Amino acid sequence: MVNHITQEGLNIAYSPEIWEVLFETVPSTKLGLEIDPAHMVWQGIDYVKARTGSTYRAIWTIV
């Protein structure tokens, strides 16, 4: 996780597997994700599957 520290702070929601744990751990309906698909492409993650196949409460996509 140390590799995910940025100038803006620590990114703890950097993969779909972590999202699942995050939403299970924090049951608040006010918790959501903001996704930049370009980052997922760079990581080799299928961003369409991650976005449309999710069961998460709120996901916002940056275009």
Full pLDDT tens readout for the chain, 63 residues: 556 555 667 777 777 788 888 888 988 878 877 777 787 788 888 877 776 666 666 566 555
* Distance of alpha carbon 43 from alpha carbon 28, whole angstroms: 28
Q: How many helices and strands, by DSSP H and E, does the chain display? A: 3, 4
Q: What is the pLDDT of residue 42?
A: 86
- Burial bucket for residue 47 (CB in 10 Å: 0-12, 13-18, 19+): middle
Sequence spans of domains, the chain: 2-61
Q: What is the pLDDT of residue 58?
A: 59
Q: Where do we find the tokens 């599957």? A: 49
